[in-house]
Amino acid sequence: MPRTALLVSAALLAALLSPAVSHAAADPAPVPVDRFEGEVPFASQPAEGIFTWGSDTDDPPALQLTARSDAPEGAEVLTGSYDISGYGGFTHDFAATGPAHDWSAHKGIRFWWDGQGNGKKIAFEIKDGGANGEASELWTTSFTDDRTGWRQVEIPFTDFVYRTDYQPVGGIDHVLGLTGMWGYAVTLPPGVKGRFAMDDVELYGRADQSLRASVTTDSAVYPVEEGGTAAVKVTVATTGSAPIDDPVTVTYETAGGTAEPGKDYTPVSGTLTFPAGTASGTSTTIEVPTLRDKSAEPAETVPLKLTVTGAKAPAETPQVVVDAHGLPYLDAKLPVRKRVADLVSRMSLAEKAGQMTQAERGAVGGGGDIATYALGSLLSGGGSTPTPNTPGAWAKMIDAFQLRARATRFQIPLIYGVDAVHGHNNLSGATVMPHNIGIGATRDPRLAERAGAVTAAEVRATGIPWDFAPCLCVSRDERWGRSYESFGEDPALVQSMETVIQGLQGRANGRDLSRNDKVLATAKHFVGDGGTEYGSSTTGTYKIDQGVTKVTRQQLEAVHLAPFRTAVDRGVGTVMPSYSSLDVLGDGQGPVKMHARADMINGVLKDRMGFDGFVISDWNAIDQLPGDYASHVRTSVDAGLDMMMVPYAYKDFTATLIDEVKAGRISERRIDDAVSRILTQKFRLGLFEHPYADTAGAAAIGSPEHRAVARRAAAESQVLLKNAGGLLPLKKSEKVYVAGSNADDIGNQSGGWTLTWQGSSGNITKGTTVLQGMREAGGNVTYSKDASAPTDGYDAGVVVVGETPYAEGVGDVGNGHSLQLSAADRAAVDKVCAAMKCAVLIVSGRPQLIGDRLDGIDALVASWLPGTEGEGVADVLYGRLPFTGQLPVTWPRSESQLPINVGDTSYDPQFPYGWGLTTLTRVPQGGTATLRALAVAATAAERAGAGRTGRELVARARLLVQQKVGQRITQAVAKPFADADHLLLTGRYGKAVQKLTEAYRAA
């Protein structure tokens, strides 16, 4: 081309591009957020600053400002390195005391990123509205670290979505307003060592209406009975809530779907216009009429296609659904067996695979995948809650998920599950019961049932029909981080507490499950999770949790299987296998993960015990099986697992399961059995007739009536181990000095599995601390947490010490935890007990080693984890109720004794299993002659089947023996004393008194 022609072309091109150049010039100048030149310090609120965070001490990244010659802007950049196992990242928060920033004039946020090209996604979130950066809504998106070297990442604000898996506070308005912004955060990828550099975070571009205005519908799914009319509400809204500047049009038409136009519905089409100046939030309605015919049919869909001009269109096409009708499985008058058979016969393999799949609520987002994958179940893991965390928000969230299931062919309802292991512990404001170890200490089966009933009522009132409880583990080693989830170390004690199943489910025949105050229970973890050997775990830094249980066949039957026989007899609806491995000595298999043990799940549980419910896996547990993913699926399904908890891998699981069946490696008969078991429980729960939340009982959540049950449980769970000089109960006239880390901490006294998986210290939920309970009891109390206040002039001291919350293997002894009191707690005990008569209360999930201080302590109480009702602890401290609790586990002298359990040949603990002094109760007088008479009467009661009389006679003998023994607990005393309590629980009352007589003579 000649040079002159080239010049002309260039001029013409410039002219053609001039409007774009002009438009670009009209954009506002970029607004800096971070230049990383030292203008923003490494600090945290209330000052403005950059700070790191992570799931444990190793996960926060290491950050610094580094001079770089290649910096995109200025001289320095933010650099960092990371090696994250859980989660970790960093945040820039604006000062909490300053005004929030207004970002609404801009198109988005951008920054320079120097990555590794590792292909990992990096989450980027912004903080909108609320009081400050740590009390704001989180809106998130992500970018991929897919190249090395510097590149500029531009993120329009329209890419951000509201976080559904975690929010730090209650909902503000769920609208990305952009007018009150508090900063941003970066979540780095786990599972890979990495480094990065970042520079020049700024706001860019001009916000136009198509970015700040959106059209939404009030739902994604509109079920309607055949012949009814669906009403689809269409709303226009703007970021910042200003009126729209330009008109917005919405063209709509019914098209596609499985319904037939003219036969199943009347087609509709047209255009809606929202004129300029229309207020944000304005709505109009599109009606879609459906037609009747005489056929019995599955559900049929009618998509309503929306084409939007001038605003962002809805994220998905709304669907009108003509409800399934006339099919036998929908007939509530038919027996459940026939309804199940009819439904299974109609289902495709993909629909069956969906029923066998459970996903985490945070993984499915808005819920579109529920219909896409025909999912049968969702769960909330520990701490996975809606925002705000209220009963109404729970019900609304679960109803929204159930609505998605209505868009499937057979409209099979979801079954939603939670770990309500000591009350509805994920819900803020719920009644939090003592953990199971405390319930075991009560020795009160009726109270266990009442606690289960309160839990069930509160769980079901939020729309949840399924509870992953109770744990029927027999805890044989208190170094286990889950030991507090066990009712105790004796299978007979665990069996006696299984009345909780009736509290949760109602009658054993399942006829109460459809009530609005009952839930499906889960017996877990099958089998032997409480018997794992210390040091056998291969999970991360765990020491004993998820390890190997080595037992003889006889030990397996007597100790670990016995509670599951009782659960099956009580009609428990679901069973969850353990993460742990089972090594039955002599069977030639060696250690085998329980999720792979067909001999135990199919052979023992289903065939021999006759369990007719369904088996649900633990969280991602099949991933721990050997081999590739296909073998994980094949092995676990063939072993007898009916539903898989695959929180974030539900797509992989369903696809793999379908492939395995098509290839003939898993039989269709096994699939049909699994699906039939699942559907049976859904029918029993009444979910087909009433899939949505019945919130009639929501007003009772956390009510005085429910808290009274928890208060009673807390009181009965207190075990008085020592009471020299009758220090307890305290008199209200006494001046009492209260100290210790757990005296005024409701988080510590509630323990793990409280609002979050691990639980946390502090004022995390409604309730009463031990200190508050003492004050409300009318006690004359002075409090000094660290015992730094003067100790002169007091009649008695109460030092409340113990553990901070943990859950599962995180709490294993040797994994950052021990059985020793903290240095601060030891100092508080020493100071108070040196200055006055003192009672020490140990708030913990397991025994704490206190023997070296026992002589200096007048009264010692095992308080366990009493939950939210500290008034119950005060009730026994001040004598409103007597101390009646008994040790559900053996209290060791030293860690070297562990494991130590009732029935051991060598048994010399600090306090034996079953030990528990009482107050306000007259101790029987007499000696061996009295005990002989009690033994005769107890034997007669046993023969007559008079259980209540037999138990009362043994209790009298126990009190007599404890009075003589005092604190002189020798091996000769401890062994028969502990054996007596096991005999009592197995109904051998005469033998129990004989053993107590043996302890008496040894004292």
Catalytic center residues: 618, 808
- CA contacts within 13 A on the Cβ side of 14: 6
DSSP per-residue string spanning 944-985: HT-HHHHHHHHHHHHHHHHHHHTT---HHHHHHHHHHHHHHH
Name the strand (E) or helix (H) holding 994. Answer: helix 989-1002
| Of 183, 198, 350, 325, the residue nearest 264 (C-alpha) | 325
Q: Which residues contact 676 (CB under 8 A, 6 or more apart)?
A: 340, 341, 344
Q: Cα separation of 769 and 775, whole Å? A: 10
In whole angstroms, give the CA distance from residue 640 to residue 597.
8
Cα distance between residue 679 and residue 413, in whole Å: 9
Across 724-749, b (16+ Cβ under 10 Å) vs e yields: eeebbbbeeeeebbbbbbbbbbbbbb
Identity of residue 163: R
DSSP SS3 for 23: helix
- C-alpha distances out from residue 754 to 327, 357, 749, 859, Å: 43, 26, 10, 29
Q: Under DSSP, is residue 524 helix (H, G, I), strand (E, B) or coil? A: strand
Spatial contact of 608 and 568, defined as CB atoms under 8 Å apart: no
110 has which bridge partners?
A: 154, 202
Sheet holding 614-615, edge to edge: 522-526, 574-577, 614-615
Q: Which helix (H) or strand (E) holds 78?
A: strand 76-83
Residues ≥6 apart with Cβ < 8 Å to 945: none
CB distance 49 to 40 below 8 Å: yes
Alpha helix positions (H), 474-597: 491-496, 499-505, 553-555, 562-569
Backbone angles phi, psi at 576, to 5 degrees: -115, 120
What's the rounded Cα separation, in Å, for the pair 65 and 42? Answer: 10
Nearest to 742, CA basis, from 774, 710, 711: 774
What CA–CA distance (Å, rounded) separates 439 from 447? 8
d(CA 226, CA 321): 9
Query: 603: Cβ–Cβ under 8 A, 6 or more apart, which residues?
Result: none
Distance, CA of 480 to CA of 477 (rounded, Å): 6
Question: What torsion do the CA atoms of 176, 177, 183, 186 make, to the nearest 10 degrees?
Answer: 10
How far is it, in rounded angstroms, from Cα 166 to Cα 384? 7
Strand arrangement, sheet containing 269-274? 221-224, 319-322, 300-309, 248-254, 269-274
Asked if 910 and 851 count as a contact pair (C-beta separation under 8 A), the reply is yes
Give, as one character, the DSSP assignment of residue 159.
G
Q: What is the 3-state secondary structure (H, E, C) of 243-310?
A: CCCCCEEEEEEECCCCCCECCCECCCEEEEEECCCCCCCEEEEEEEEECCCCCCECCEEEEEEEEEEC
Place of tokens 């078991």: 677
- Tell me the β-bridge partners of 739: 799
